[in-house]
Amino acid sequence: MAQNYAHGNFSHTQKNTRNRGGGRTSVDRARRTLSQNFLVDRHAVELIVKAAAPEGLVLEPGPGEGVLTFALVDAGARVVGHEIDPRLAGRLASRTRTDPRIEVVRGDFTAARPPREPFAVVGNIPYAVTSKIVDWCLRAPELTSATLLTQLEYARKRTGDYGRWSLVTVESWPWFDWTLGDTVGRESFRPVPAVDSAILRIQRRPEPLVGDRRSYQELVELGFGGTGGSVRASLKRRHPDVDAALEAAGIARDTVVGHVHPDQWITLWRRLHH
């Protein structure tokens, strides 16, 4: 099934494997097939724009009907929207053809080549491909920030809000700060989805916190790939002197790897690679 980013400003897309069609219109069938849930709360759009503080070039996955797009340009941004739904892409392109601040690209956002100039990503993104979009953002050399409306659970997991830290966050922490923003309730969408959403802010740091990406990420992957459940058991296989590093980082010997704060990983790396 085709992926969709057509929820953009006032829509939120989730993958749905069922499409009965029935007596629905073509628009109804598209919404069901592409799992479009449209954001009807203008205050939520204002929260996204406030969190993003847009300026310069902004890429928007799934601009849909353009409500967030117009809010971004009103705030001072130049927006390139990537819309995979041809119906919505055509409609938005027609509405914005005379506005030099807006460009509509028809196609899959995650297949696009990142710009060679500094840019931000802002969007209300589909739950089903959230990880794919985030990975694209983290790999883009000129990305300055990503402000994304995601499933609440995803945003909480990535920002350590459950008291645990994920591999994706820890591995990228020296280069990106992850922040949990405002919650957007499910009642802000039509049709109403099963879960709430939240604004996730990923911002590139002015300077990396470590000097060698490869050795840091190898250390983190060793820790998360572990044995015995504890970070000590995982790291001791390759680092016999890990106990001194754990003490320096303030990590108890029996600490589960997911409970190690990203800043503590920085200390571990410094002690074990210097």
Mark the binding-site residues for S-adenosyl-L-methionine, compressed into ranges.
37, 39, 62, 83, 108, 124
Q: Are 72 and 223 in contact (CB under 8 A)?
A: no
Residue 67, H or E segment: helix 67-74
Structure tokens at 58: 């902004």
Give CA 162 to chain center in angstroms. Answer: 18
Letter for the amino acid at 54? P
**Dihedral over alpha carbons 35, 36, 37, 43 (to 10 degrees):** 150
> Which tokens in the block code for residue 203?
């911002």
Of 47, 4, 88, the residue nearest 185 (C-alpha): 47
CB of 126 closer than 8 Å to CB of 35? yes
Q: Which residues are annotated as a binding site?
A: 37, 39, 62, 83, 108, 124
Helix (H, G, I), strand (E, B) or coil at 271: helix
Task: Report the alpha-carbon distance of residue 158 to residue 202 in Å, rounded.
Answer: 10
